[in-house]
Amino acid sequence: MGADGDIGFLQFLQFLHFLQILYKFLQGPHWLRLNYLCFHLRATTSTPSTFPITSYQPHQPLRAKFNNAMTVELEQTAAEPLSFSVRLGEETDAAEIAALGAKVFYESFAWSMPAQDMRDYLDTSYSASAIQLELKDAATYRFWVARDDTTNKLLGFVQLNRCSDEPCLTVKPPESIELQRIYTDTAAHSRGVGSTLMTTALEYVVAQKYRAIWLGVWEENPKAQKFYARNGFNKVGTHDFVMGSCVQTDWILERIL
């Protein structure tokens, strides 16, 4: 085969290789698609890729819609069933609750606020000592935790607050109670953990004869809003959520029991 034939054959092989890359790109999760494609393009061309592969971290905070889309895809590809148990939170859970709460909060909201405001808020609200004080205050707070039956890893938690209030609420304390936090680890999304924690909290609230339960959710978090809507919560107002110099708007959602 002549030189022209050699070149043509090599181009044909490169084209087949590109089709193989494209196929794998379309099969994997979004961030794996990007990493795989950019890695192979850089490896098969003489011009270095401008995509910062070594510094790219798929779990860094992203724009809300992209983060939601990536989370949905991760949920859809969760294959193995998850065996877990839910129990009341104890003081010994404080460090893990604080770590998971800080992780979820950072991944969800860090892109939307100044870094120093984020650090200050996490240091104040999600330190192990702050969570431990809340676990001790059984008159105000009540926690449940979900743990993996095999590894005992903390998969999520839910927290109720008996003493908070909002002007827009239809039912006021002491006949209402706040669902202050419900957080699940990314690996546990769409595997029943969040729904089970919600059911556990609602069963307790009904058993304690509360007339209503309410919560605050960021206006730019449609995924959480849909979850709460599925569980019977309706928007009754808004309030400002202040973190240092950052002021965000939360929707106030209420469910009459």
Higher pLDDT, 140 or 52: 140
**Whole-number average pLDDT of the chain:** 80
Higher pLDDT, 84 or 34: 84
Higher pLDDT, 18 or 238: 238
**Residue 52: per-residue pLDDT:** 31
**Residue 170: per-residue pLDDT:** 98
87-136 residue pLDDT tens: 999 999 999 999 999 999 999 888 888 999 999 999 999 999 999 999 99
Contact indicator for 80, 87 with CB cutoff of 8 Å: no
Q: Kindly state the average pLDDT of the residues 212-236.
A: 96
C-alpha to C-alpha distance for 145 and 87, rounded to whole angstroms: 6
- Show the domains of the chain with their CATH numbers: 3-58 (no CATH), 84-256 (3.40.630.30)
Assess whether pLDDT exceeds 60 at residue 27.
no
C-alpha to C-alpha distance for 167 and 162, rounded to whole angstroms: 15
**What does the DSSP 8-state code read for residue 248?**
E
- Beta-carbon contacts of 155 under 8 Å, excluding residues fewer than 6 positions away, are 82, 84, 146, 147, 148, 184, 185, 187, 188, 193
160-202 residue pLDDT tens: 999 999 999 999 999 999 999 999 998 898 899 999 999 999 9
Higher pLDDT, 158 or 72: 158
H helices present in 147-233, as ranges: 193-207, 222-230
Assign 3-state DSSP to the chain and report helix, strand, coil percentages, each to 5: 45, 25, 30
Q: Quick one: pLDDT band at residue 244, thresholds 50, 70, 90?
A: confident
